[in-house]
Amino acid sequence: QPRPLTLAELRKKYPSTFVLNAPSDKRQVALTFDDAPDDNFTPQILDVLKREGVKATFFIVGNRAEAHPDIMRRIVQEGHAVGNHSYNHANLPKLSDAHFREQIQKTDQIIRRFTGYTPKMVRPPYGEIAEEQIKWLASQGKTIVNWNVDSLDWKGLSADQVATNVLSHVHPGSIVLMHSGGGTGEDLSGTVNALPIIIKALRDENIEMVTIPELLQLPQGVS
């Protein structure tokens, strides 16, 4: 029984399907937010992005979009990009093929109701994905978008800690992982308060903040 490939090996084997960042020759960075939408932190993050005039990418959990349709509509109306983050934040490698595909397809249908397109981007929960799942997503014309800068904001960090985690690792072409929806008792106020600090620091370096489709030159989705 051959051992499954590690995530690093899978990225090497499927470089056009499984991405962590863009080339560093463009002075652009993508801010991405997982686990959207919720009715607490997502609106606060949207407020900051709107005030700062920044477009970001939200990876949508299907059952949360169903629970918070108004916030989902706001994400779309304010010009942010959206991708598929599974239906209920499942650990995808642990699922059967049928259950895995259902997680993706069900969430695609929910996102399509709000956006008018089927998203091209998938971010697997926890960043975890199996080789057969990558092959199936590739056959569907999807791109798996993980990250190369982790804010670790889900740990309930302060704004300064979140900003430091991002700014000490970010460089042109980076994809930054943050969260805009929390589990029960999870505090993402550090993310909300770090966002203006991060945006100002990137602007001071003349780094533009763009969506994943802009950064990777991908279509948003298939209409």
The catalytic residue positions are: 34, 179
Tokens matching residue 127:
């960043």
* Residue 154 near residue 1 (C-beta atoms within 8 A): no
Q: Do the beta carbons of residue 145 and residue 155 sit within 8 Å?
A: no
By the 8 A CB rule, do 216 and 19 touch?
yes
DSSP per residue over 17-73, as a string? Answer: TEESB--TTS-EEEEEEEEE--SSHHHHHHHHHHHHT---EEEEPHHHHHH-HHHHH
Residue 179 and residue 145 in contact, taking contact as beta carbons nearer than 8 Å: no
Q: ∠ CA 210-213-216 to the nearest 5 degrees?
A: 90
Q: φ, ψ for residue 81 (rounded to 5)?
A: -85, 150
The H or E element containing residue 185 is none
**Numbers of helices and strands, H then E, in the chain:** 9, 11
